[in-house]
Structure 1
Amino acid sequence: MIDERDVVAVERQLGRAPRGLRAVAHRCPCGLPDVVETAPRLPDGSPFPTLFYLTCPRAASAIGTLETSGMMRSMQARLADDPALAAAYQAAHLDYVARRDEAAAEDGLEPLPRDMQSTGGMPTRVKCLHALVGHELAVPGSNPFGREALDALGEWWASGPCCLVEEEAGAEDGSGGASADQLRPARAGTER
């Protein structure tokens, strides 16, 4: 289950209500969610292959800059020339599909079709660094291109949280919102 404060944060990050939200998959060092886990099928039953969805607008903007720099073209070329890298990317794809199938089973949903790409172009293309970074943040060590992009990003969180989230109780009792403990960065690892 996901905390209501996290739902509010994700809604503010995206500028809309999140769909198919299952859990916080990773927290930014600022303490807010930056990757969420979504259901493989939306409430209307339509397929949603992006299990790990990057929500932080600052991280997304920084990744967009990497994408326009030609990083994906370079990665794609290396994928074709480096069998070990191709094998690691294939393993990332298999990890992603297995986790997505597990989420579907946990939610009582039909898994997505076997011939559907996992995310970000995997396993044969490099199509979306946002998705690959989301995978790497949610499952550290799983995605070689997600790791490369993440290493190139810099500290997107350094200027503080990307959005403000007031606690309902804080608003009611006049304390003005979240405490320092509530905004403290989460420990390393994933949340499910």
Structure 2
Amino acid sequence: MSRPPFEPFTERDVELVSAQLGRPARDVIGIPARCACGAPTVVATRPRLGNGTPFPTLYYLTHPAATAAASTLEASGIMAEYSQRLIDEPDLADAYRAAHEQYLADRESLLHVEEVDGYSAGGMPTRVKCLHALIGHSLAVGPGVNPIGDLALAACTWSPEVCQCAPDQRGA
């Protein structure tokens, strides 16, 4: 099993992620996705935090405009539509289950954490619970891996190809 592909982080990345979150970033291990300006959009977080807490969310969406767009999309009720599609479309459900398995393999390649064994993110593999997590996963691994994350990203008013960062929050 190989380590998931993501860029190493810099101190500036940690500063930007902390500012994006409004709190100190915890246990950052990489930056799997960036804004067009270079600012972090998704952070990879250690599966067990330094204080011992299990942290199942390997790919964490941090970009303020992306998280706002995901929240707006969630408020629209689209998650119920996506969940119904998982019932109605067996190929979509199969691809979503494969995304879940890939997520687990990525996290397991870093560290086995018994408390979160079998749990991925966003409701995978059978429901749609958190578009933030699913969009973060899609951005981290690229299109074609998480079909629900891809659908949600396409439905967002935000795009990683257009910088919406505040001037002091832009990457290098």
Match of 2:139 among 116, 137, 140: 137
Structure 1 contact 13–162 (Cα < 8 Å) conserved: no
Q: 1:152 and 2:159 equivalent?
A: no
The count of corresponding residues between Structure 1 and Structure 2 is 163
Matched, 1:70 2:74: no
Opposite residue 123 of structure 2, the aligned amino acid is G
The C-alpha deviation readout for 1:32-73, integer Å capped at 9, x for no partner, is 000010011111211100000000011100110100101100
Q: Which residue of 2 aligns with 1:124?
A: 126
Are the aligned partners of 1:96 and 1:118 in contact in 2 as well (CA < 8 Å)?
A: yes
**Partner residue in 2 for 1:8:** 15
Query: Please, which of 34, 40, 48 is the counterpart of residue 41 of structure 1?
Result: 48
* Unpaired segments ≥5 residues, structure 2: 1-7
Unpaired segments ≥5 residues, structure 1: 105-109, 166-177, 184-192
Give the conservation status (yes or no) of the 8 Å contact 1:62–1:153.
Answer: yes
Contact 2:35 / 2:163 at 8 angstroms: preserved in 1? no
The structure number with the bigger radius of gyration is: 1
Q: TM-score, normalised by structure 1?
A: 0.79
Q: How many angstroms does 1:5 deviate by?
A: 0.7
For the Cα contact (< 8 Å) 1:12–1:163, is it kept in 2?
no
Give the fraction of aligned pairs with identical amino acids, expressed as a percent: 49
- The verdict on how the C-alpha distance between 1:112 and 1:20 changes in structure 2, with shifts beyond 3 A counting, is farther
Q: For 1:1-192, list aligned pairs within 5 A.
A: 1-104=8-111, 110-113=112-115, 115-140=117-142, 141-156=144-159, 158=162, 160-162=164-166, 164-165=168-169, 183=172
